[in-house]
Amino acid sequence: MNPTDTSSLVRWRLILGRFSQQHLRPGMSPEAQRMERSLDFLYDREYQSRGHREQPGGTKGPKPPKGPGTLDPSQIQVLEWVRELPDLFPADTVEILEKHALERYGMTELLTTPEALDRLEPNPDLLRMLLQLKGHIPSELLHKVRSIIRKVVDELKEKMNRDIRTAFSGRINRYRYSPLAISQNFDWRRTLRDNLKNWQPDRKQLLLAHPRFFSRQRRLLPWHVVLCVDQSGSMVDSVIHTAVLAGILAGLPSLKLSLVLFDTSVVDLSDRVDDPVELLMTVQLGGGTDIGQALRYCEGLVHTPSRTLIALISDFCEGAPPQVLFGTVKRLKESGVKLMGLASLDDRSQPAYDHHTAAALVDLGMEVTASTPQQFAQWMAKTIS
């Protein structure tokens, strides 16, 4: 690195922190000094957690014995820190810093201060943390929490809605054509064949006077879909995406939807599927796991087995004796119910789950996988076609 490259020196100083000031002494602009101060406010916690603190002169070392106070600059407060982040860093960097503050350093005061809540950028990571700490948030701030949840849910719903509705709207009928110009239904082979007569040699262009599009078959869905969701703490991402997915599925015609959440108890939230925000506000993350009890409850919801699909969304870490779980799955399979087990239902699809229990469920006839909501919707649409 060129030692005269001030810009690079400043970047390295921000990366390494002010403890590197003995070796890196670039000319720091007022803005760069504010950036360093803001980063130190967060990442100094790394040293504090290891029993270190800053010593005079910018060095670090073990905490000294208690003594008189110092003339060290006072730390900026959380609210001031949150307020100035957008002025100092790009939006994606602000999101990372807020995520580290909440998840890595437990700065839960970000979620209990009205002004801090107002300034936090709504995103899935913040939603996850709000749900995990919902029980510790003052009641007078719950309306702000609902507002944040609604914004994130609406963004997720917009992202998922089109793909999921397309999956259920019907398969392409390649033997019938539609006057509706939908790009994903465009039949380019038939279009070229029917428009060859419109070739213009002098301009070397083909005039598409009659574009052709496949139509889509509409199909009735007299199916009952039961989403059985594990609300243990490790399943928070899946709970969020299931709530949004349920809100979309509830709007599909001729499809009956039930939503059951469980830990060591079971709660039926089928009457709230059309409002993902209120559904998420009801979720109680944590606690034990009794999958067998939950599936026995779902078994009681089945009236037409051959037209019922039960999706178990869980990490399969059964806390109760597994005989009830295995026995229920066996009965449901033998009755003709379609069974799907999802180790995760989110955009990442990187689950941590009990492989032994999952393998046993596969042996009993349950399909087990991890998927995105869009992939799961495609599987459902194919299964109940």
Query: CA-to-CA distance for 32 and 87, rounded, in angstroms?
Result: 12
Contact of 365 with 333, CB cutoff 8 Å: yes
Q: What is the mean pLDDT of residues 289-295?
A: 96
The values of phi and psi at residue 224, to 5°, are: -110, 115
> Is residue 75 scored above 70 in pLDDT?
no
Contact of 211 with 243, CB cutoff 8 Å: no
> Is residue 287 scored above 80 in pLDDT?
no
Render pLDDT for 146-156 as a digit per residue (tens, 0 to 9).
999 999 999 99
Residue 22: per-residue pLDDT: 57
The structure's pTM equals 0.66
- Domain map of the chain by residue range? 223-383
Residue 116: per-residue pLDDT: 76
Q: Which of residues 126 and 27 earns the better pLDDT score?
A: 126
CB atoms within 10 A of CB 324: 16
Mean pLDDT over each residue of the chain, to the nearest integer = 79
Residue 184: per-residue pLDDT: 57
Q: Percent of the chain, pLDDT > 90?
A: 33
Q: What is the mean pLDDT of residues 71-95?
A: 68
Render pLDDT for 346-378 as a digit per residue (tens, 0 to 9).
887 678 899 999 999 999 999 999 988 888 988
Question: Where do we find the tokens 């800053």?
Answer: 54
Q: What is the mean pLDDT of residues 304-324?
A: 95
Q: Which of 1-10, 239-248, 367-376 has the lowest mean pLDDT?
A: 1-10
The values of phi and psi at residue 205, to 5°, are: -130, 150
Query: CA-to-CA distance for 255 and 252, rounded, in angstroms?
Result: 6
Kindly provide the residue ranges of all beta strands, DSSP E only, lying in the chain, ordered along the sequence.
52-54, 60-62, 172-178, 199-200, 205-206, 213-216, 223-230, 255-262, 266-268, 308-313, 338-345, 367-371
Classify domain 223-383 at the CATH class level. Answer: alpha beta
Q: Which of residues 332 and 208 earns the better pLDDT score?
A: 332
